[in-house]
Structure 1
Amino acid sequence: MPRVFVQGNPVDHYPRHAPEARHGSVRRITEAGEDVLHKPCRDVTEFGPDLAALVDDMFLTMYIAEGAGLAANQVGVGLRLFVYDCPDDDGVRHVGHVVNPVLEALDPADRRLLDDHEGCLSVPGAVMEVPRPDRAVVHGQDKDGNPITIEGTGYFARCLAHETDHVNGRVYLDRLSKRERKEALRQVTDRRADVHARRFANIEAVEALTS
């Protein structure tokens, strides 16, 4: 069985980090409460060097922050786009990006909800249980405008749903009860400084990270 899928296609070999990260620059990650995270993003209508450069920056920023996915509004750009480098529950690695993602509505009979821990780079340090379907299908385009469909199960399905939420202007805090949200924000208060210190250390090691 292939162990790595890139843009939904199996590959025999793949580096530790997506090659796009080699060309990227680190961007600041926005945090819950900033307007750009709480309103739906605009469709991407122009495909070209600027979009490709944004994808490069997002991959590098995601790796620096030790994330499994990152949406464009998490780096302050209100466009429908996310990148990912995420395993599923079988340990298969999935790497790629989706422009203008749309999460397919699945028949409830063909899915089940999983309660599992979930974090977010824009909610630094907080980890909470969030129910998500165990399967996800996202339709969209690649950075050249070609149509793509990405399917995921388990943890990777969680990633696809989480990132599509972002481009729709939702953070996972919006899926929590008032009590759970208060607990998540308490975790942010306790852990945010440590999270940012680790990211800063990774920035200083950026050459090793992308080698």
Structure 2
Amino acid sequence: MNDLAELINDRVARTIPPLAFVVPDGFHALPVDVTAEERSAAAQEFVRGLYPEGDTELWDSAAPYYEHVTATMATAGLAFSALGIFGQEGEGVAHCSLTVAFLRSSHTDTDAAAQGTLATLAEDPLNDARRLDLPCGPAVSCVTLRELALDVEQGPPAEEQPKLVTGQIQVYVPFPTGPYMAVFTLDTASMRYWGEFCDMVTAILQTLDFTA
């Protein structure tokens, strides 16, 4: 298990009830679990890991932005938040964000919780909602693709404006050990690598452990 995975498991294990999982190399976890007093120093450490070949000028300019992002994520109640950056052959990188949130649920049976979640998500015709059977129990995935028009001033007509396509994968996993629902969310605009990101989420879900 790599150092990042151990760090993630340590963070998640402090929640109630416990949940552990492993992510691939390339994810950089935001310090959403630190105190407000620790946040500035944690952001400095984060940007050094995110930009290992950077310099003091880059780190000092980027740290306040990620400190603000971390504060926003923590306020939103996220248990885990990370940026995924993966180098590709040639120029450019593939990037995504991964978050995990815990929601309170009234379920007493994981199968019933999954069925109810699937029925709710399937009501939206834009959702591709499906049941999953994971090693840890039932879950529900929901895939949504969005096309956004980029507003280019003095550009071509609206129908010819460039489009940005983004994809989101959400997976709802009922806790078998308590009335909670784990929600994994991966967002990306690197749609060229959509298949790889889908495989990545599948691999992460295979590592879920509610007995950590």
Q: TM-score range by the shorter chain?
A: under 0.3
Q: TM-score, normalised by structure 1?
A: 0.27
Q: TM-score, normalised by structure 2?
A: 0.27
Q: Which has the higher strand share?
A: 2
Return the index of the structure with the highest Cα Rg.
2
